[in-house]
Amino acid sequence: MTDSKMKHTDAITLLKKEHRNVEAAFAQYEELGLYAHVGKQKSADKICAELILHSQLVEKLFDAKVKVLPEYIEQHVNEEEIEMFPLMKKSKLDLLLLGEKLIERKLQLSRC
């Protein structure tokens, strides 16, 4: 997007474009092979940088989100604990293996 086009872009359009960019970065990460450690690290670094930049931008523009955030978090927790977790327990998922993968991913993300 050129500078002149960016100056005439409304906030919602700009933020949606950023969302699509992050989604594309996640898709690229997922497309990398199982052993593409270097590529995945670079991709994860890019995703982290984009998310940090986006959150800082939105925080400055929309201070009201601080008031909404606790409600969002509560809704998210309820969706997971009330809807998803019971389904996971009933499924044939290997929850121990999934737990190990979650811990591994959390460690990767915390390095960003």
Residue scoring higher pLDDT (79 or 9): 79
Residue 64 has pLDDT above 80, yes or no: no
8-54 pLDDT per residue, tens = 677 788 888 888 888 888 888 888 887 888 888 888 888 888 888 87
| Burial (CB count within 10 angstroms: exposed 0-12, middle 13-18, buried 19+), residue 54 | middle
Residue 103 has pLDDT above 70, yes or no: yes
Q: In 3D, which of 18, 28, 77, 76 has the Cα closest to residue 51?
A: 18
By three-state DSSP, how is residue 35 classified? coil
